[in-house]
Amino acid sequence: MLLQPLMDKLTLLHLPAFRKGIEEQITNPKYADLSFEDRLSILVDLEVLQRDNSRLRRYLKKAHFHLDATLEDFDFSPSRGIDRHLVLELSHGAWVTNHLNMIISGPTGAGKTFLGCAIGHSSCRNDFSVRYFRTPRFFQDLRLAHADGSYPKLLAALSRYDLIIFDDWMRDALSLVQAQDLLDILDDRFGHSSTMVITQIPIDAYHERIPDPTLADAILDRLVNNAYRLQLSGKSQRRLRSTLPMSAT
């Protein structure tokens, strides 16, 4: 059998890892003693692994995470106040499958964004589509969408993500239009997909940052009541990791 036509067909079928694996098996004598089934299984595993990795890269690119963070790099020291077992359980993604929400809160520099991006990364690994936003900039995008008439299209696009992450949540008080937009988004997502918010603002202070009490009740009802809550504590991680020398005086 001529090898090149086979290789050309594998390229045509978009099986690059399979092709590379055949080249490796032909040139490496260690495969000679393996059965046909074993060698075929190795080739299929290579192709599946490459496709999984490619899919993960696509998910991560579309997510636009602020940090390249993973749970393997998160510091679960007791001073952080985080239940390691709960976080690792959440990393399996059942909460996204069940269309639940998550609220990550804590003081400035406590590592909220890192943890949120790390859980988002785990969600991508679990084959969920994720989109990360800094909330103030997100509201600017909404304002532009209203101005150019693309707001309905943007809402439709947002509704298709399995998980949306809003960082700097409630940092600034909302305008009436922003509150209405937020309710539109959460209403589309409630019971169908998941939302995570990352914030240093306590939950009991959300209400006062939303100008209309009725809108506030509706927003909180769709976000808070079915949300896991992770509260970080401890000193600022930015300060602890600073490379600047400490003054001797």
Strand, coil or helix: what is 160? coil
Domain ranges for the chain, please list them: 3-62, 64-238
The answer to whether residue 170 scores a pLDDT higher than 70 is yes
pLDDT tens figures, 174-205: 999 999 999 999 999 999 999 999 999 999 99
Query: What is the DSSP code (8-state) at residue 149?
Result: T
CATH (residue range 64-238) = 3.40.50.300
pLDDT band at 4 (very low <50, low <70, confident <90, very high): confident
pTM score: 0.81
Radius of gyration for the chain, computed over Cα atoms and rounded to the nearest angstrom: 23
pLDDT tens figures, 76-98: 999 888 999 999 999 999 999 99
Residues facing residue 57 across a β-bridge: none
Query: What is the DSSP code (8-state) at residue 174?
Result: P
